[in-house]
Amino acid sequence: MPLLAPTRPVQAFLLLSTCLPDHEYLDRPNTNNCMLRFTAVLRRQQFLIRALSGEAHSRGATEIKVMAEGNLEADAVSILRRITPLLDPNRNKGQAGKIAVIGGCREYTGAPYFAAISALKIGADLSHVFCTKDAAMVIKSYSPELIVHPILEESYSVRDEDKGFISSKTVAEVAKWIERFDCLVIGPGLGRDPFLLDCVGEILKLARRSNIPVVIDGDGLFLVTNNLDLVSGYALAVLTPNVNEYKRLVQKVLDSEVNDQDASEQLLSLAKSIGGITILRKGKSDLISDGRTVHVVSSFGSPRRCGGQGDILSGSVAVFSSWARQVQTTAEEDATFSTSNPMVLGCIAASALLRKAAFVAFESNKRSTLTTDIIEHLGRSLEDISPAC
């Protein structure tokens, strides 16, 4: 079942729109033309799906799985159109979103940058990064657009007797800002230093007390998988695990192995077991559940698996879920929409946009496609679906 009623009337249009870049069919209003291109793209997609599954030799099995998942396919284009705000000259800086990424350490500076810059490229007004001192100068040098706070500390730079004081100081620093943020992305490039993770656990508790939505990714998932109480039952929390992170989560919460045959049921039960938080399981198809519903986003995508695409996704989920919450508070009467979980809507929108941008970037860059190329296609990809004005 789609989450939203179609905002534009023709069903066939929506069917096409889940499979084809908008510019491909909007340029060609002729239906026959459209159908020919649709068939060609569908064939190309099915080939891609078979190739990606590594089961090109067992075609029947793959197609059955795709058909079964197809029933849950989200109407991502309608959701993107519904929640993306128009650029209105009466709005002020900040109203399109203020996002903060908590991540970035000695080893990883790319991940927090990707998440934070993606939020801006999609249309958020302000994007902050809270990272370690070592990472801050590097991240600042990537982009003058980001507001970078060098406040996190790792064990190697703190004496044992100072840890309590430093931890309180770090959390107090974030507390000064937290009410201004629409969403925190916790974990891209955070690393696994125990002292740093303890501090971030305190920041997560603070976000929860302040009712600030959180998207947990990367090493943030390492933290919460070992401390489930940090997020359990928090409806404004989204987890975005990749294959390894999901495996660890399933083992910890369900005490079992990942079951790809009943992937939707397992995800549903995982989300329910953590108190109805939203989980976006990343993979060949992205699966999204809050313990009540399961949705699949499998449109577009790319066979290139360069690191950093998950970071784009986490920054994007933060923006789209904030927009979904904003639209719901101002939306006219529409029961289906206003009762939908905004965190789920944000996941569907982010997944669809990332996959579309990755597809378009791959079309031109093929094997050399990098995360920065995908980021460059976020704006155009969103514009094709939901024009700015």
Ligand X SMILES: Nc1ncnc2c1ncn2[C@@H]1O[C@H](COP(=O)(O)OP(=O)(O)OP(=O)(O)O)[C@@H](O)[C@H]1O
Out of ligand NPW, ligand X, Mg ion, none, what residue 168 binds, judged by CB under 5 to 8 A for its kind, is none
Q: Kindly list the distances between the CA atom of residue 363 and the CA atoms of 135, 210, 247, 301, in Å, as whole numbers in the listed order.
A: 33, 43, 31, 11
Asked if residue 218 binds Mg ion (CB under 5 A), the reply is yes
Asked if residue 310 binds Mg ion (CB under 5 A), the reply is yes
Instruction: Pull the structure tokens for residue 354.
Output: 């990332």
Residue nearest to Mg ion (CB): 310
Out of ligand X, Mg ion, ligand NPW, none, what residue 143 binds, judged by CB under 5 to 8 A for its kind, is none
Query: How many other CB atoms are there within 10 angstroms of residue 202's CB atom?
Result: 16
Interface with ligand NPW by CB under 6 A: which residues? Answer: 108, 110-111, 188-192, 218-219, 242, 244-245, 307-308, 310-311
Out of Mg ion, ligand X, ligand NPW, none, what residue 313 binds, judged by CB under 5 to 8 A for its kind, is ligand X
Asked if residue 220 binds Mg ion (CB under 5 A), the reply is no
CB-based contact 111:133 (threshold 8 Å): no
Q: Which stretch binds Mg ion (CB under 5 A): 118-126, 219-227, 303-311, 329-337?
A: 303-311
Least distance to ligand NPW, CB of residue 314, Å? 8
Instruction: Pull the structure tokens for residue 232.
Output: 């359990």
Interface with ligand X by CB under 6 A: which residues? Answer: 52, 218, 242, 282-284, 286, 301, 305, 307-311, 313, 351, 354-355
Whether the CA torsion 17, 55, 306, 279 is positive or negative: it is positive
Least distance to ligand X, CB of residue 325, Å? 21
Residue 84 or residue 309: which is nearer to ligand X going by CB?
Answer: 309
| Dihedral in degrees, nearest 10, Cα atoms 284, 285, 286, 288 | -140
Residue 244 or residue 338: which is nearer to ligand NPW going by CB?
Answer: 244
Instruction: Establish whether 91 is an annotated binding residue.
Output: no
Instruction: Establish whether 347 is an annotated binding residue.
Output: no
b/e code 374-386 from CB counts within 10 Å (16+ = b): bbebbeebbebbb
* Backbone region of residue 148 per phi and psi (left: phi > 0; alpha: psi in -120 to 50; beta: other values): beta
Residue 66 or residue 101: which is nearer to ligand NPW going by CB?
Answer: 101
Residue 361 identity = A
Residue 194 or residue 307: which is nearer to ligand X going by CB?
Answer: 307
b/e code 46-57 from CB counts within 10 Å (16+ = b): eebbbebeeeee
Residue nearest to ligand X (CB): 310
Least distance to ligand X, CB of residue 258, Å? 14
Instruction: Establish whether 103 is an annotated binding residue.
Output: no
Instruction: Establish whether 310 is an annotated binding residue.
Output: yes
Least distance to ligand NPW, CB of residue 106, Å? 11
Instruction: Pull the structure tokens for residue 42.
Output: 């569908």
Cβ-in-10-Å burial (0-12, 13-18, 19+) of 164 comes to: exposed
Instruction: Establish whether 305 is an annotated binding residue.
Output: yes
Supply the DSSP symbol for 185. Answer: E
Residue 34 or residue 185: which is nearer to ligand X going by CB?
Answer: 185
CA distance linking residue 80 with residue 149, whole number of Å? 31
Residue 272 or residue 284: which is nearer to ligand X going by CB?
Answer: 284
First to last CA, the chain: 30
Residue 123 or residue 188: which is nearer to ligand NPW going by CB?
Answer: 188
- Sequence ranges of the binding site for (6S)-NADPHX: 189, 242-248, 311
- Sequence ranges of the binding site for ATP: 282-286, 301-310
- Sequence ranges of the binding site: 189, 242-248, 282-286, 301-311
